[in-house]
Amino acid sequence: MVQGGYLEIGTEEFPYNSKLTITMHGDKKSPYLPTYGNKVLAVRFGQLEMHGKPRSHVWTDMYSTAEAGATSITLNTVSVDNDWAIGEDIVIASTDYDGTHSEVRTITGVTMRSTNPVITFDKPLEWKHFAATETVGTNGDFIDMRAEVGLLSRNVVFRGDPETSLKNLYGAHIMLHSPGDESVVGRIENCEFTDVGQASMLGRYPIHFHMIGTVAKSYIKNNSVHQAFNRGTTLHGVHYLEVSGNVYHKCMGHTMFIEDAIETKNLIENNLVIDTRASDSLLNTD
């Protein structure tokens, strides 16, 4: 627990560039902190700084359609060849009538074809992923429809233990809470969160800003959150928080959750949400 203290993994000016994995262990029976729970990084009257290696692109879309069986995709962007690396994981969004047809693949190569990057990966696609511009009607109207592609891997990883988290749907979580404007500062960017959130548990979300008030000094930017068992990011009773450029994949329940509708002046933009899964707990809309 960070109480009145400071936890730093890199800074805005000097991000953490080496590999770091934080693994949280525990289950429902483990000792817990009142309000904050267990298997948790809890921040109260403190400051959390998590700054992974910056990435040129955290998500983009496809340049051309990839058929089922393809082992590569072409991206609709200028270049990722100096950034997306062999061994890293990507997710490709579904473009058919079943949102669960998203696919995660491990990069085996990055090359350039003309002006577009080509990503090759470890096994063939199971589904077709569409990318093209469709003309509609006779007035020259068009719809640009392209499968999005998100980068899941980051050098700083916060996760629940892989042995039990998925089996029990009981992962790690980060909760920032203390009364009073700016009583907590949380700056989280370019990090990866997986096996996170605790299913059927109120308030146990992967990244959770809870009843703080004004948090203008904080942000959640350019992270990936995947395999989450209870929503993705929750804003509860906070104002002026920036949530931008994040990639979310396979989060159970509301991926971006604004809890009480009293939250104001928050900036939520340019996030990619893929393959949200139903949850049998909490709200009916989850």
Q: State pLDDT tens for residues 199-211.
A: 989 999 999 999 9
Domains of the chain (ranges plus CATH)? 2-54+160-274 (no CATH), 59-151 (2.40.30)
**Mean pLDDT score, 254-268:** 94
How far CA 174 is from CA of 37, 59, 138, in Å, comes to 10, 24, 52
- How far apart (Å, rounded) are the C-alpha atoms in residues 68 and 89? 19
DSSP letter assigned to residue 168: H
**Which residue, among 2, 6, 42, has the nearest Cα to 210 in the 3D structure?**
42
Strand partners, 149: 60, 92
Q: Say which residue, 277 or 80, is predicted with more confidence.
A: 277
- How far apart (Å, rounded) are the C-alpha atoms in residues 197 and 149? 23
pTM, 2 dp: 0.94
Taking residue 86's Cβ as centre, other Cβ atoms within 10 Å add up to: 11
Q: State pLDDT tens for residues 69-93.
A: 999 999 998 778 789 999 999 999 9
**Which residue, among 79, 49, 83, has the nearest Cα to 63 in the 3D structure?**
79
- How far apart (Å, rounded) are the C-alpha atoms in residues 52 and 197? 21
How far CA 179 is from CA of 34, 78, 220, in Å, comes to 15, 45, 20
How far CA 282 is from CA of 122, 198, 256, 258, 259, in Å, comes to 38, 12, 15, 14, 12
